[in-house]
Amino acid sequence: MSKTIKELAALLTEVSVVGDENTRIQSIAHDSRKVTQDTLFVCISGATVDGHKFIAQAIENGAVAVLVEKDVIVPKHITVVRVPDVKAAMHLVVPYFYDYPARKMRLVGITGTNGKTTTSYVLRAILREAGYKVGLIGTIQIMIEDEIQPIHNTTPDVIDLQCILADMAKAKMDYVVMEVSSHALAQDRVIGCEFDTAVFTNLTQDHLDYHKTLENYAKAKARLFDLVSAAGQTKENKSAVINIDDAASLVMLEHTTCQCLTYAIHKESDLRASAINVLAKGANFTISGVFGTMDLKLKITGIFNVYNVLSAVGAALAEKIAPQIIQATLEKFTSVPGRFELVDEGQDFSVIVDYAHTPDGLENILHTARQIAKKRIITVFGCGGDRDRTKRPIMGRIAAKLSDVVIATSDNPRTEDPEFILSQVEAGVQEELAGKPHEKIIDRKTAIFRAIEIAQVDDIVIIAGKGHENYQILKDQTIHFDDKEVARAAIRGKH
């Protein structure tokens, strides 16, 4: 990628350029540590950090131009682009700099509180079975076909995202399947992305520390449907795929003007699941739609996965994938890392690791466990620090109501006192406990070992909250921590 300052400035209305307009830019960065030779350094004034203070470091690392909204003093060879609002300017400049990569591929965006990751993996598998080259941007990782890259946010920031999409376009991806978080939509991280199919899974309590109300949260999600429905786009065949069993679907539908495909279990819809039989190691059900019927025998289980499969099938049909390809893929599909994932070391009880970290997510996996449990359910869970505090007692009540043994522990405490977090979880646990065994163990490793120590034949141990994550965020450090690794060690130690 290479553009001149003159080309970039031409996109902006209120702009002044001091220095050489013909300075050529090879990259864009807003983190001075990521600056390399011939970079445009974008000075964002954030809540805690002001990029203008890092100009000297950026220049030292190779920046040749700066995008600013304040008066700055720089060496004469540095070109200064001054605008009233750096973020607004960045949203115009960055997609252009990377040649609007999302226009060169089909882009499927998946939003919702729960189910985004499983839906994206199922859809990726279907598209690949159909012969397409597929990129994936999600909570767990970025994938360019089978090449894996780490990820730090569910949806990367606008610069990183456009750069990733440009890499995918260069690698000749036909499709990109992307999880789109409410934060990304509210913060315009997906600006410059042309979506072709948008999927809504569900909306339950989460991120209220940021959005404040469920109404605001729903409106943030609905921006994806504004984007897919927008006029004057470069690609044709725009679709929305919406779960109408969820009350927030009404908000998504209000923001959708492109063709819409609805799915449900309980309501009349374009795609509907029936004859559902949830088993210990899979689920059988039938999907009915305009294409006819599809009888499925899946290797993934739980009602929540019936919904996830419906959303992926809806997106695949919207993208004109043949039903027989969809069915063949679904019946081969096995699992997603950290999503109701079995930890099997040959023990005579079940251990399941899941990412469930919201009230709805925890309730879903415990209901599924209850359907397949022969004996007790032992639940290990916690709540993250510096996040929505209102969900802590709610999750405590759910765990106590649907489990036989509850072990409350730390998740990612971050800067909060783990003891205080657990006291808020405990308030909910105590309301529903009704004499059931209950322990509070701050150290997560100790809690997991304790759950496995007390597990007996045919019990189910649920370890909820972190799923695929292989780290734990403490007050002053981030440590390596993997629930599956710890569980395996505990099981092996028990034999």
Give the tens place of pLDDT for each residue, 96-126.
Answer: 999 999 999 999 999 998 899 999 999 999 9
* 435 CB-near residues (< 8 Å, 6+ apart): none
Q: Would you give the DSSP letter of residue 23?
A: P
- Per the CB < 8 A criterion, the answer to whether 110 and 178 are in contact is yes
pLDDT digits (tens, 9 = 90+) for 459-485: 999 999 999 899 999 988 999 999 999
- Per the CB < 8 A criterion, the answer to whether 120 and 313 are in contact is no
How far is CA 482 from each of CA 361, 466, 489, rounded to the nearest angstrom? 19, 8, 11
- Per the CB < 8 A criterion, the answer to whether 117 and 139 are in contact is yes
What whole-number distance in Å separates Cα of residue 244 and Cα of residue 284? 21
- Per the CB < 8 A criterion, the answer to whether 176 and 108 are in contact is yes
Residue 183 C-beta-side C-alpha neighbours within 13 Å = 11
Nearest to 302 by CA among 331, 275, 282, 329: 282
Phi/psi of residue 143, nearest 5 degrees: -130, 130
Token digits of residue 162: 């456009």
Sequence-ordered strand ranges (E) for 166-206: 175-179, 197-200
pLDDT at 394: 95
Global confidence as pTM: 0.85
pLDDT digits (tens, 9 = 90+) for 25-83: 999 999 999 999 999 999 998 878 899 999 999 999 999 999 999 999 999 999 999 99
Burial class of 446 by CB neighbour count within 10 A (0 to 12, 13 to 18, 19+)? middle
How far is CA 128 from each of CA 124, 125, 282, rounded to the nearest angstrom? 6, 5, 22
Task: List the chain residues with pLDDT less than 50.
Answer: 207, 211
pLDDT at 452: 98
pLDDT at 151: 74
pLDDT at 241: 98
What whole-number distance in Å separates Cα of residue 398 and Cα of residue 402? 6
pLDDT at 360: 85
Which residues does residue 126 pair with via DSSP β-bridges, in sequence order?
none
